[in-house]
A and B are shown apart, each in its own frame.
Chain A
Amino acid sequence: MPVYGIKIARPGFNADDPNIAGKDLSFSSLHSTPKLYRCISFTAIGDTSHGLDYSPAFFVTFKTTASSMTPDPLVDQYICTSFSTTAGSILITAPLIEVDDTYVKCVSIGDASIVYVTLAIDPIDE
């Protein structure tokens, strides 16, 4: 069966070059692209069905609340991370997000006023 795909080089590079590196392509169907299908928000501990029958890869962005510090270098800022949590800063406790085959779970809200979880349709374990 013939193989078809799409390859687009970055400006200044030639997509016809058989030795062109992946980093020099702005797009290549030879490499998988994270496919983002949903964004869910949490303002408290809870869970939401994500609609798949496997655990999806996810990205977390949370908005910080005020800390007890003055001046506060973090209040009302957004922190975007690919981790479920990186709790442990003296300034802030991050939310803890988990996924399983059915749910996205906000296990703890930490010092976040709102948490956005962007889900990819790509499995987290493949």
Chain B
Amino acid sequence: MSKYGIRIVKPGINKDVMEAEPKEMAVSGDYDSFKIAFAGKLDLTVPEHTWYCNASYPVSPGPNDYDSNNTFNWVPNYWESTFYHGLGYVPMYNPGVYWDSLNGTYAREIPNDDDPEYTVVNYLPGLYQPQCGPWGLTPFYIFYIGVTADSNYLRLRAHEFVDMTIDCALDANDYNTYAEVKLRVYYTIFYNRADEEFNLL
């Protein structure tokens, strides 16, 4: 069977395409290239919510009760927004994110001219998250954001981590309310499979 394809050398490379090195080519059909399957935006709203020391104070506590039996407490569920890509395999995508406010820079706010209502995850680590505190201060709070993928979905997830041990020891009726946060990620999903070995050399 005959083999057909395309080779184009980079500008300034004065060689025949059949003699040029692979790295001297602008385009080569001998290798794979990135092919965009989807590009778009994914939004997630984390609603305002409150953690309480006391299950009976000040109102019916709901799902965010602080559990003093645990040193660290995660909310029972994380918040998630998904995009169904339906490729049936794990694609390469951008951006991959696993960020938390413990290690991020949370002292400034990134303006977003496109829609100021949203914090754009692509701009991390510039997320402003009030009430984050380093170890030893209270309430200890970590806000986690992840952009991950599996064989059918791209996922934007937010999760939080609270320790009110000292607060609650000082005031058994204390509580902490966290403001609504709107997150947005601009994503690109490629047709290229991320989870399979190959070798075209």
> Interface of A with B (CB < 8 Å)?
1, 3-6, 29-41, 51, 54, 59, 61, 63-64, 69-71, 73-74, 76-82, 86, 88-92, 94, 114, 116, 118, 121-123, 126
Contact = CB atoms under 8 A, between A and B. Distances in A.
Contacts of B161: 69, 90
A118 B192 contact: yes
Given A80-B94, A89-B98, A90-B142, A35 B150 contact: no
A61 B194 contact: yes
Contacts of A76: 150
Given A38-B198, A38-B200, A80 B27 contact: no
Contact of B148 (A54, A77, A88, A89): A77
Interface stretch (B70-78, B111-119, B166-174): B70-78
A80 B199 contact: no
Given A82-B94, A121-B23, 15 more contacts: A32-B26, A33-B33, A34-B33, A41-B197, A54-B23, A61-B92, A64-B148, A71-B74, A71-B76, A74-B98, A78-B150, A79-B149, A89-B144, A91-B159, A121-B28
Contacts of A81: 95-96
B102 interface: yes
A32 to B, nearest CB: 5
Contacts of A35: 22, 25, 27-28, 30-33
Interface in B144-201: 144, 146-150, 155, 157, 159, 161, 192, 194-201
B195 A89 contact: no
Interface of B: 6, 8, 10-11, 14, 22-23, 25-28, 30-34, 74, 76-78, 80, 90-100, 102-103, 142, 144, 146-150, 155, 157, 159, 161, 192, 194-201
Nearest to A86: B98
Contacts of A122: 23
A18 B90 CA distance: 39
Contact of A6 (B8, B28, B150, B195): B8
Given A32-B26, A79-B96, A81-B96, A37 B200 contact: yes
Nearest to A120: B31
A96 to B, nearest CB: 15
A33 B98 contact: no
A25 to B, nearest CB: 13
B92 A59 contact: yes
A30 B27 CA distance: 9
Which of A80, A92, A94 counts the most chain B CB atoms within 10 A?
Answer: A80
